[in-house]
Amino acid sequence: MDGHRIRTLILSALALGGFATTGCRTTKDPALPSATLPMPGQQKSSGFLGMGRAKPQFGPPPEQVAAARPTRKPGTGMKVETEVIWADTQVESAMLEGQPDDVRNKLLDDARAKYQKALRTDPKNKPAMVGLARLYAKAGDRDRATQTYAQALHLDPKDHDTAIKLAKTQAQFGDWAGACKSCEYALTLDPENRGYRKIYGYCQASGEKWEDAFGTLMSHSVMSEADARYFLGRMLFDKDRLQDGRAQIELALKADPAHPESRAVLDEMNNPQGVPTPADTNPVRNVGYQGR
């Protein structure tokens, strides 16, 4: 049985066991700023059932749920791979929105114990180590999260995905210098990865390295100049630097007069509540970008 099938059955078992909350969404990793507005939520269908109608069955049949539970011979331990998949699924269930604190804590503690048991059996098991690092990050344990990701990267120094996960975790806790270094390392392994470069540019800008961020976002055609200026302008707004942010929006429109997002922001700022701002205060100098 493959990992995806096992994970699906475990989630069903947890739900039937009362651990999950119906209709909840999972909490995602911290997202980078985006100009895209969230899609409106879908309407839920009515839960009313007429009299005499059979009650619908949710989830797989009981025999499939039973199959999801680990089975083993007396005196033998659970396979490491199954232990890790089970722990991964418990973490996902723990982070459901609306999950009661006592249930969340129990699921996280059980998952941590499974990861640690798997690592005692196989100290170089990278999925267990990465899963444990992710658990620590979600629990807000900065030191253990970063240290465990670093250990996983030490096991496989060419794993750029683990390097970027370390960068995201460092960014989660505001360690912008560390996040930049991890992004740089990931890019040495996968230099053409546009997603990594966008994360790198975000971390540079968050660390007040505005010109470096602009260069990173322009490199390898990650963004057009208008998009890069708009991206930095929105980040400056988030830091309450309205004048500098407006200057970047104006530079975005200079690069592309039809840039819709920048035009909408500038039109809004030009209303009576807008703050007039000179364009010469922007922290990213209006210099021509030279490709690296």
Of the two residues 73 and 49, the one the predictor is more confident about is: 73
96-107 confidence digits (pLDDT tens): 999 999 999 999
Spatial separation of the C-alpha atoms in residues 162 and 111, rounded to whole Å: 20
Q: How far lies 265's CA from each of 231, 244, 259, 271, in Å?
A: 12, 14, 10, 10
**Annotated domain spans of the chain:** 1-22+78-156, 208-292
Provide the CATH number for the domain formed by 1-22+78-156 in this structure.
1.25.40.10
Task: Please choose, from the candidates 102, 133, 104, 139, the residue with its C-alpha nearest in 3D space to the C-alpha of residue 116.
Answer: 133
Is 17:75 a contact under the CB 8 Å cutoff? no
Q: Using CA atoms, how far apart are residues 257 and 150, in angstroms rounded to an integer?
A: 45
pLDDT at residue 39 is higher than 80: no
Report helix, strand or coil for 176.
Answer: helix
d(CA 59, CA 222): 42
For residue 77, list its beta bridge partners.
none
The answer to whether the pTM exceeds 0.75 is: no
pLDDT at 215: 97
User: What is residue 288's predicted lDDT score, i.e. its pLDDT?
Assistant: 41
Task: Check whether 41 has a pLDDT greater than 90.
Answer: no
Identify the three-state secondary structure at position 96.
strand
Q: Which of 129, 244, 239 is nearest to 176 (CA)?
A: 239
Indicate whether 84 pLDDT > 80. Answer: yes
Please list the residues that pair with 103 across neighbouring strands.
none
Q: Would you say 275 and 255 are in contact if contact means Cβ atoms under 8 Å apart?
A: no
Residue bearing tokens 């609306």: 98
What is d(CA 216, CA 211) in angstroms, rounded to the nearest whole number?
9
The mean pLDDT of the chain is 79
Q: Return the top range by mean pLDDT from 42-51, 154-163, 283-292.
A: 154-163
What's residue 208's pLDDT? 95
Q: Are 189 and 158 in contact (CB under 8 A)?
A: yes
pLDDT band of residue 271 (cuts 50, 70, 90) is confident
CA distance 227 to 206: 17
Instruction: Render pLDDT for 15-35 as a digit per residue (tens, 0 to 9).
Output: 545 444 333 444 444 434 333
243-252 residue pLDDT tens: 999 999 999 9
Q: Residue 26, SS3?
A: strand
pLDDT tens column, 142-194: 999 999 999 999 999 999 999 999 999 999 999 999 999 999 999 999 999 99
User: Please, are residues 14 and 90 in contact by the beta-carbon 8 Å criterion?
Assistant: yes
Classify residue 147 as exposed, middle or buried by CB count within 10 Å of its CB (0-12, 13-18, 19+).
Answer: middle
Reply yes or no on whether the pLDDT at 207 is more than 90.
yes
In one-letter notation, the amino acid at residue 76 is T
The helix or strand, by DSSP H or E, that contains position 18, with its residue range, turns out to be none
- Amino acid type, 182: S
- The CA distances from residue 128 to 80, 118, 285, in Å, are 9, 7, 46
